Structure 1
Amino acid sequence: MVKLYGFSGSTCTRLVALICKEKDIPYELTSVNLAKGEQKNPSFVAVQPFGQVPYIDDDGFILYESRAIARYLIKKYPNQGSPLIPSDPKAEALFEQAASIETFNFTAFVSGIVAEKVFKPRRGLQPNEERVQELLASLKPKLDAYDLILSKQKYLAGDSVTLADLAHLAIWHCVFDSRPNLSRWWKDISSRPAWLAVKDGA
């Protein structure tokens, strides 16, 4: 069984849990209390030197960074659950293209919004609404491009769902969008049983 060390509500921990659900991989969550700073304890940092969640222990194999963990689990269990990463070289290249879009044209902006709208209130701080609006303005042309891509295909990498699509799930809620193709895509991926099982916590 995969041992997942993280915080149930964290976006990155939920991504790993989501992939476990998609691939029918049993996992055991060991809770790391971010509010108490447990991720900065010496024993944790000895394993995850950046003091961030999550990391996994897969029968002694330690791995951190949620996207790396997701790729590892998908490739280790290719015949379980949904494929999520294509094996054909061209299809895999299109997946990598979509994964880069998610990382650099979406999450790079939305993570700042999450920090302001989610994490600051949890610490009793006021969100910087001006900063949120700046980030949303920067995100607008990115979402225009998303809608264009999704007007031509069902998912970001083609007509099969991949990790590139699923990586949006835990933070998309901070972005309200009514573009028709984006709305269709979001309704599709957010109704997947694996996501419904972890959306409120890993």
Structure 2
Amino acid sequence: MVLKLYGAPRSTCTRRVAVVLREKGVPYELVAVDLGTDAHKTAAFLARQPFGQVPYIEEDDGFELFESRAIARYVALKYAGQGNAVVPDPADLRAYARFEQAASIELSNFDPFASQIVFEKVFKGAKGLGEPDAARVESLTTQLLAKLDAYEVILGKQKYLAGDEVTIADLFHLTYGSMLAPVGINALEDATKRPNVARWWKDITSRPSWLAVKDGA
């Protein structure tokens, strides 16, 4: 048997886990959860993921884990000896601290802005919650661009956010980051304004793991 990934194929968080599974060469079975019919809100699903969100994983021995970033860390550490080393050895305390710093950057300085822009521009209408709040989108975009100015400084000194080796902290940007250009925000690709960010973005979006799951886990 193989690890089971319960989630929606196009879900941002499901694909966040899938890209790491691909990086580590871990076979998995996607157990599709139909968000359109609220399958993630049923009693059976809530018994395994009490927040009613995707994804979660289940291993052969019954071990279950939810929260996409926690799953990614678990997979990266459990399968440290295979695939690409996308998390530093925790025994190398300073390298691991730099990784955690990079992961915190994504969680605090990228995701809150990118995910809410995507919510306003994509998910809000799809869920029948009304029109995008233009003022909110403008404010979020301004804040995101300021954060990316700091990314430009960091990436001017090293290849990736945690150093010169890719980590899951970089990969965590892929799902929401890839949805920005289609809604008119090209800050990640624009080499004229942030060449280091553009170089980094081209690098991580060209990885085989992302190309394999970008259209569905």
TM-score bracket for this pair, using the shorter chain length = over 0.9
TM-score normalised according to structure 1 size? 0.97
Matches within 5 A, 1:1-202: 1-59=2-60, 60-87=62-89, 88-124=92-128, 125-173=130-178, 174=180, 175-177=185-187, 178=190, 179-202=194-217
- Superposed displacement of residue 126, structure 1: 2.1
What is the TM-score normalised by the length of structure 2?
0.91
- Alpha-carbon deviations, 1:11-60, whole Å to 9, x = none? 10001111111000000011111121111111101100000000000121
Q: By how many angstroms is 1:121 displaced? A: 2.7
In the alignment, the residues of structure 2 paired with residue 48 and residue 97 of structure 1 have an alpha-carbon distance, to the nearest angstrom, of 28
Instruction: Supply the AA of the counterpart residue of 2:186.
Output: F
Poorly superposed stretches of 4+, deviation over 3 Å = none
Deviation string 1:74-116 (CA, Å, 9 cap, x unpaired) is 1110111111110111111000000000000110111111111
Q: Give how far 1:129 is off.
A: 2.1
Look up the SS of the partner of 1:160 in the other structure.
coil
1:123 positional shift: 2.4
How many residue pairs get matched?
202
1:112-143 alpha-carbon deviations (Å, 9 max, x no partner): 11111221232244222221111011112111
The alignment-based identity, stated in percent, is 58
Deviation string 1:128-164 (CA, Å, 9 cap, x unpaired) is 2221111011112111000000000000000000000
Amino acid at match of 1:154: K
Give structure 1 stretches of 5+ with no counterpart.
Answer: none
- Distance in structure 1 (CA, Å) of the matches to 2:34 and 2:121: 20
Alpha-carbon distance in structure 2 between the residues aligned to 1:189 and 1:7: 23
**Aligned letter for 2:6?**
Y
* Partners of 2:132 and 2:41 in 1: CA distance: 24
**Greater displacement, 97-106 / 35-44:** 35-44
Which amino acid letter does the alignment assign opposite residue 10 of structure 2?
Answer: G
CA distance in 2, matches of 1:121, 1:183: 29
Give 3-state SS (helix, strand or coil) of 2:58's partner.
strand
